[in-house]
Amino acid sequence: MSDTIAQGLAVLVHLLEIAGAGALVLGFIVATVLWFQRTQQLGILPAISKYRQSLGRTILIGLEILVAASIIKTISVDPSMENMGFLAIMIVIRTMLGWTTVLEMTGRWPWQNQKANASKS
């Protein structure tokens, strides 16, 4: 791979890492501000439920961006067996966080359809 392409990919990875971290921070700030507003309008309990859903979406989006950056970095910028292992571990952790976040937000696992869950209630 030419040096120009490698440098471009390194810059892309860095920008994606900044975007992922920024999405997490910005999402947290926006969700918190909306929580304060909803608390005044709806009360604490309904506001907390929406706050948790907003934070869950924020975490999922931020993690997706960070995983994309890690995949690009591992495959193109610094391909080594050690980095492949770290990437695999990170993907497993991200998958488990995603599943538990969806469970927390919706009350069902991602692979369960809504109709099957509704009929059990």
Query: Tens digit of pLDDT for each residue in 77-116?
Result: 777 888 888 888 888 888 888 888 878 777 777 787 776 5
Domains held by the chain: number: 1
Domain that holds residue 28: 3-120
Those residues with Cβ within 8 angstroms of residue 105's Cβ, 6 or more apart along the chain or in another chain = 52, 53, 56, 57
**Residue pLDDT, tens place only, 58-75:** 988 998 898 888 888 888
Q: In this structure, are residues 71 and 36 in contact, taking their beta carbons and an 8 Å threshold?
A: no
The 10 Å CB-count burial string (b at 16+, else e) for 31-40 is beeebeebbe
Helices and strands in the chain: count of H runs, count of E runs: 4, 0
